[in-house]
């Protein structure tokens, strides 16, 4: 083997990181977006993986040629294919770092939404426990909530002792506690949520 081939092989071995990094980091992206959603309160691992996959492919297509060109200007001895590989790997790492940063930035919003939901359910349980017919006061812990206008307006329902009917209330968290809950009928939240799908 001549010196030029050995040099090319050495660069090839140094520059073969983009696709292994792509596979590993898109899987990591799925876990990051699942545990630290970038929007809403939750995201599936598959959904997070698809987001990471799409963003990583866009980063490779748009970022690798430009970053590779800049890298070659700094290191003229580096082959173009290796520079693009390094640039693509860097772009994928930046996508993962961006998803992590976005998830961490969104985390306080998720926590606030969960506290708002817990507050709405607690208000509903207090109202139902004091005002609903006895058959609905048996198991207040089985309350289900539907977000009408989060984080302020929720509809909370509690089933009766036989599970055949529900008693529902509307909770307005922006109102004083004693005036924040009102009766909303017997139709379960499952029926209401079907109409929004």
Q: State both tokens at 63.
A: 């970022």
In this structure, the answer to whether residues 119 and 96 fall within a common structural domain is no
pTM here? 0.71
Instruction: Name the residue among 114, 186, 184 with its Cα closest to residue 150.
Output: 114
Q: Are residues 93 and 153 in the same domain?
A: no
Instruction: State whether 76 and 161 are in the same domain.
Output: no
Question: Could you report the per-residue pLDDT of 81-130, keeping only the tens digit for each?
Answer: 888 888 899 999 999 999 999 999 999 998 999 999 999 999 999 999 99
Q: In the prediction, which pLDDT does 10 show?
A: 57
pLDDT (tens digit per residue) in 57-76: 999 999 888 888 888 888 88
Q: How many domains, in total, are found in the chain?
A: 2
User: In the listed set 85, 106, 127, which residue is the last one of a domain according to the structure?
Assistant: 106
Q: Residue 129 is part of which domain span?
A: 113-194
Measure the CA–CA gap between 89 and 81, rounded to whole angstroms: 12
Question: 102 and 121 share a domain?
Answer: no
| Under 8 Å between Cβ of 32 and 101 | no
């Amino acid at each position: 083997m001549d010196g030029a081939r050995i040099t090319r092989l050495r660069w090839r071995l140094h520059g073969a990181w983009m696709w292994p990094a792509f596979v590993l980091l898109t899987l990591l992206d799925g876990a990051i977006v699942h545990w630290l959603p970038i929007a809403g309160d939750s995201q599936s691992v598959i959904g997070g993986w698809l987001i990471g996959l799409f963003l990583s492919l866009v980063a490779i297509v748009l970022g690798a040629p430009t970053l590779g060109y800049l890298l070659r200007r700094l290191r003229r001895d580096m082959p173009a294919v290796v520079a693009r590989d390094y640039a693509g790997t860097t772009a994928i790492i930046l996508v993962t770092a961006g998803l992590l940063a976005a998830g961490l930035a969104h985390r306080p919003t998720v926590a606030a939404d969960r506290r708002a939901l817990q507050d709405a359910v607690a208000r509903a349980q207090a109202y139902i426990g004091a005002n609903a017919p006895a058959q609905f006061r048996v198991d207040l812990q089985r309350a289900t909530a539907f977000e009408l206008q989060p984080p302020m307006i929720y509809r909370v329902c509690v089933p009766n002792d036989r599970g055949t009917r529900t008693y529902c209330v509307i909770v307005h968290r922006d109102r004083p506690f004693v005036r924040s809950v009102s009766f909303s009928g017997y139709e379960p939240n499952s029926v209401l949520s079907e109409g929004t799908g």
